[in-house]
Structure 1
Amino acid sequence: MEILSVQDALRGHPIPATQHYGFLLVPGFSLIGFSSALEPLRMANLASDNRLFQWSTISLDGAPAQASNGIAIQPDYALDEAPAFDTLFVCGSNPIPPRIEPRYLNWLRHLARQKTVLGGICTGSYWLARAGLLNGYRCTLHWEDTERLLTDFPDIIVSKHIYEIDRDRYTCSGGIAPVDLMVALIGLRTGRNEIAAKVSELMVCERIRSTQDSQRIPLRQQLGTSQPKLTEVVTLMENNLEEPLTKEELAQFIQVSVRQLERLFQEHLRCTPNTYYLELRLRRARQLLLSSNQSIIDVAAACGFVSVTHFTHRYRAYFSTTPGRERRIGQPPNARSAVGRPPVQIS
């Protein structure tokens, strides 16, 4: 399959036939990611008055695939019944499971041998990496799972951009980032920027983001003002979860007094530095519990807790469940929202 550049299309290069996109729905896949990838293809057909794209869904054995929000989708094919695709996207799950069914990986390797273009949506890059299909490629995935991917595959190049197009690998982060990836691919596929722009307009997207856009909103943008000292200290916290720094050490690093440090957090984040730091550590612990095979004692140590008892007490206070139960259920907890959440007490 050849993906046209805009320049080739404008020179009269013939546009290829309808492209067939496949979407592999793994258990717990992100429904918003899948929908954000699918709808731009439908809009492109509408905007062009041509059937530029068709699509199919696949599950492991053809049984309904349940998304992370509980909604089930009846797929078109099982793995062993699926036809050839021009492009196949893995719609990754949240969280990434500790173990991936080998049949997924073998099938993806088979597609790669058939020269199928492969992509990952949300955490889909992890499936490709586990199958050994991202070696030498630049990729991205949801920012929460970047550390897991880098830990398990340290030689893979992972960016913080919302999407990456690297030869025959298309990857993007979660949420609505697939819209941006697909709009970019529609432009390449047709060689007509007006179709991509029309798709964006139909989807009420005020701006088409590029591959250079970052996933996370900078803290200064979240606050609505520039607070370099606060940004600096939060970065220090994020980089020192295993051995947490004291308030005095944090204040010294950014060259303010402890009182000034506390005032910054209270004024802009409506919490104390200790509360914010603890929340970072607990959320990191949840990621490790749901997406790794590390023991609970190792997770506790990796997130700066001196004992499993202390870790369990803090975890239950924040997530209303214990680490052990969290792992057994294997689903994200209903954490309290940041706004109006009672402060977590530090002992």
Structure 2
Amino acid sequence: MSKTSTIGSELGDVKGRRFVFVLLENFTLLSFASAIDCLRLANRRLGREHYTWNLCGEGGDTTNCSTGTSLKLDADLEELHRDDTIVLCGGADVQQATTKRLLNWLRREARRGPAIVGLCTASYTMAKAGLLDGKRATIHWENQDSFAEEFEEIELSKAVFTADGNRMTTAGGTASIDLFLKIIAQDLGEEVANWVADQQIYNSIRTDQDTQRLSVPTRIGVRHPKLSMVIQMMEANIEEPISPSLLAKEVGMSTRQLERLFRRYLNRSPKRYYMELRLQKARNLLMQTDMSVINVALACGFASPSHFSKCYRAHYETTPYRERGSQSARLSV
């Protein structure tokens, strides 16, 4: 008897599980494919269909992923079984994809008590439906600023995935693999999960203790401990910026030495680098929230809207008001 059939027979009494993938318009293909392929491979390891899945979405016909490819759906948003696991697949423009009908359906189904998973930006949809109140959750790092501003009652994590009771969220991309390997390990054991990872050539399985982003030295391409420490302090203090002199003091340098360090490795002054970080956060908030321009300015450490607008125009060649206007027009199409 082969090892595959042995494992299949050993787990023969384990109840199967159905996943209902809810594909939001412009969902991220990688997140979805990573999750569903884990289930496919687990079935292959067992030699039977332990996991089954359906694809559903508004209208029940087809939906588009962020690459422009259309996928055929199995069903509209319909009543599910109590034991189904709902997997929301988000992506670009998640605010627009999170419709009133979807939220009403999700709240109704949640009352049955199923496990609910949010992939990529679908954490936003879960939060909007009130399913993450008082819970720990994560979302793609690019959406973290806007998520934190809108959902203060949720404990936002920078981890690749989170699991809080029967609510699970991922940061997107290959983080789906890490979460679904955890689900498979809980359902069928570590051996099956490790086999699936091997099949995917996935040799560095992450846990909910691993963070999403690359380390500062890797991101900037420079391995200088004091430079990394300063950048970490900058990233952690956007709303109330720290002066270059205090940053330098914190790492045991003079302001002039800090200036030379930034010029040498990043070809810009500490002040300029800090400004770019603040403006990037501001742009994320303008593009992803309905916060007023004044509140965005304050959240990013600008004392006045006029100074914010001047700096924004110099960097992005447009004003915050025009940026907000163009985003609103795009989302209303």
Question: TM (normalized to structure 2)?
Answer: 0.83
Give, as a single letter, the amino acid of the residue that structure 2 aligns with 1:323: E
1:142 is displaced (CA, Å) by 1.8
1: distance between equivalents of 2:309 and 2:165? 49
Q: By percentage of residues, which structure has more helix?
A: 2
Which residue of structure 1 lines up, in the alignment, with residue 231 of structure 2? Answer: 234
Aligned residue number for residue 197 of structure 1: 194
Displacement of 1:190 after TM fit?
1.3
Which residue matches 2:262? 265
The residue aligned with 2:323 is 323
Aligned residue number for residue 3 of structure 2: none
- CA offsets per residue over residues 203-259 of structure 1, 9 Å max, x none? 111122222212222214546775332222212322333454443443344332233
Q: Choose the corresponding residue for 1:91, options 89, 94, 106.
A: 89
User: Which residue of the partner structure matches residue 171 of structure 1?
Assistant: 169
What's the offset of the Cα at 1:87?
Answer: 0.5
Partner of residue 179, structure 2:
181
Per the TM alignment, residue 260 of structure 1 is displaced from its structure 2 partner at its CA by 1.8
Number of residues of Structure 1 aligned to a counterpart in Structure 2: 319
Using the alignment, how far apart are the partners of 1:157 and 1:56 within structure 2?
31
1:344 is aligned to: none
Q: Is the 8 A contact 1:229 1:254 kept in 2?
A: yes
> Is the contact between residue 251 and residue 257 of structure 1 (CA under 8 Å) also seen in structure 2?
yes
What residue number does 1:64 align with? 62
Cα contact 2:31–2:89 (8 A) shared by 1: yes
- The AA in structure 2 aligned to 1:265 is F
Amino acid at match of 1:207: S
Q: Give the aligned partner of residue 295 of structure 2.
A: 298
Sort the Cα spacing of 1:13 and 1:138 in 2 relative to 1 into closer, same or farther, 3 A: farther
Matching residue of 2:155: 157
Aligned equivalent of 2:34: 36
- Is the CA contact 1:241–1:304 (under 8 Å) kept in the aligned structure 2? yes
Q: CA deviation at 1:141?
A: 1.9
Counterparts of residues 72-87 of structure 1 (less than 5 Å): 72-79=70-77, 81=78, 83-84=80-81, 86-87=84-85
Per the alignment, residue 136 of structure 2 pairs with: 138
Q: Does 1:49 align with 2:47?
A: yes
Q: Which amino acid aligns with 1:310?
A: K
Decide whether the 8 Å contact of 1:65 with 1:72 is kept in 2: yes
Q: What amino acid maps onto 1:55 in structure 2?
A: W
Change (3 A) 1:244 1:257: same
Q: What is the letter of the counterpart of residue 196 of structure 2?
A: V
TM (normalized to structure 1)?
0.80
Structure 2: state its 5+ residue gaps. 1-7
Mapped partners of 1:236, 1:310: distance in 2: 25
> In 2, are the aligned partners of 1:98 and 1:292 still within 8 Å (CA)?
no
Inter-partner Cα distance in structure 1 for 2:208 and 2:240: 34
Check the 8 A contact 2:259/2:270 in 1, yes or no: yes
Structure 1 stretch displaced more, 108-117 or 292-301: 292-301
Match of 2:126 among 128, 136, 142: 128
CA distances 1:52-106 after superposition (whole Å, capped 9, x unpaired): 2122222222243233333332322221x46436111111233542794221111
| Inter-CA distance 58–176: structure 2 relative to 1 (3 Å threshold) | same
- CA 1:183–1:34: 2 relative to 1, 3 Å: same
Unaligned 5+ segments in structure 1 are: 1-8, 332-347
Q: Secondary structure at the match of 1:65?
A: strand
Determine the C-alpha separation between the residues in 1 that align with 2:315 and 2:22: 34
- One-letter code aligned to 1:93: G
1:313 aligned residue: 313
2-structure distance, mates of 1:292, 1:215: 22
Q: Secondary structure at the match of 2:280?
A: helix
Q: Output the CA distance in 2 between the equivalents of 1:166 and 1:231.
A: 32
Partner of 1:117: 115
Query: With CA pairs under 8 Å and 6+ residues apart, which has the higher RCO, 1 or 2?
Result: 1
| Counterpart Cα distance in 2 of 1:309 and 1:164 | 37
Name 1:14's counterpart in structure 2: 13
Aligned in 2, Cα 1:315/1:59: closer, same or farther, shift over 3 Å?
Answer: farther
